[in-house]
C-alpha cells in the first residue's frame, strides 16, 4: 500500500518538519479562529509530509491541498482544521 506514510531513514520525524507544522498551526489555523486545543494538537502532530511524494514534501505544510495519488488530495490545512473543529469528539 503506497499511501501509508513511512518514517524517514532514521525512523524519526525531522525537526524541520516539526517547525513547519508549528508554523502552519500558528499562521494558518489560529489566526483564522481555530482554537480547539485537540484540533491544534492533532495538526501539530500529523506528519503531512509523509502522505505526499518526496518531490512535494517541502510544500506539505503550505496553505493549499496537494496530490497524494489516485486522483486524491490531502486537504488544505485550514480546511482540515475547520472541519475537525466541528466534529464531535469522544469525552467532550
What cell was used for 92? 467532550
What cell was used for 66? 496537494
**2 flagged as catalytic:** no
18-35 per-residue burial string, b: 16 or more CB within 10 A, e: under 16: eebbeebbeebbeeeebe
Residue 36: C-alpha distances to residues 78, 88, 90 (Å): 13, 12, 14
Query: Distance between CA 69 and CA 49 in Å, rounded?
Result: 14
Which is catalytic among the residues 53, 58, 75, 79? Answer: 75
Question: Which residues are designated catalytic?
Answer: 75
Amino acid at each position: 500500500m503506497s499511501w501509508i506514510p513511512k518514517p524517514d531513514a532514521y525512523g524519526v520525524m525531522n525537526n524541520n518538519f516539526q517547525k513547519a507544522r508549528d508554523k502552519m498551526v500558528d499562521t494558518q489555523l489560529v489566526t483564522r479562529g481555530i482554537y480547539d486545543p485537540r484540533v491544534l494538537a492533532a495538526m501539530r502532530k500529523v506528519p503531512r509530509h509523509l502522505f505526499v511524494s518526496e518531490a512535494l514534501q517541502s510544500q506539505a505544510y503550505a496553505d493549499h491541498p496537494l496530490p497524494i495519488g489516485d486522483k486524491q488530495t490531502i486537504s488544505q490545512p485550514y480546511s482540515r482544521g475547520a472541519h475537525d473543529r466541528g466534529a464531535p469528539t469522544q469525552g467532550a
